[in-house]
Amino acid sequence: EAQVTQNPRYLITVTGKKLTVTCSQNMNHEYMSWYRQDPGLGLRQIYYSMNVEVTDKGDVPEGYKVSRKEKRNFPLILESPSPNQTSLYFCASGRSTGTGQADTQYFGPGTRLTVL
């Protein structure tokens, strides 16, 4: 089954304790992306990746890191989480249309993170 998976689905942690949220897709998509969703603010892009070893900042990259060592995986790293990073996080992946534009994106189930 074609899907995007994220782990963990729920996480409660404390300020400053490094954490990683994993994202994996089995559709051989070139593009992957991370979003956070907050009430009243909608979905905001954190980082995206156009292919292996190619990543770029989205609109809210501060406090986050990503890596793309393999095509299928795109982990999101919070080196020193803070309470303002409490949010619902989504990973997404998409195909390339061949013109440099991403086709529709498929979203993972989400990770609800609480930082105390």
Partner 1 sequence: EDKVVQSPLSLVVHEGDTVTLNCSYEVTNFRSLLWYKQEKKAPTFLFMLTSSGIEKKSGRLSSILDKKELSSILNITATQTGDSAIYLCALSQGAQKLVFGQGTRLTINP
Q: Considering only 10-18, 44-52, 64-72, 78-86, which stretch makes contact with partner 1 by CB under 8 A? A: 44-52
Name the residue nearer to partner 1 (CB basis): 34 or 85: 34
Q: How far is CA 58 from CA 16, 48, 62, 65, 72, in A?
A: 23, 6, 10, 11, 20
CB of residue 64 vs partner 1: minimum separation in angstroms? 16
Question: Using CA atoms, how far apart are residues 116 and 60, in angstroms rounded to an integer?
Answer: 20
What CA–CA distance (Å, rounded) separates 38 from 58? 16
| Binding letters toward partner 1, positions 49-78, x by CB under 8 A | xx-----x-xx-------------------
Q: Do residues 24 and 72 make contact, with C-beta atoms less than 8 angstroms apart?
A: yes
Of residues 87, 108, 113, 115, which one binds partner 1 by CB under 8 A? 108
Q: Are 30 and 74 in contact (CB under 8 A)?
A: no
Q: Which residues bind partner 1 (CB under 8 A)?
A: 31-33, 35, 40-45, 48-50, 56, 58-59, 90, 92, 94, 100-110
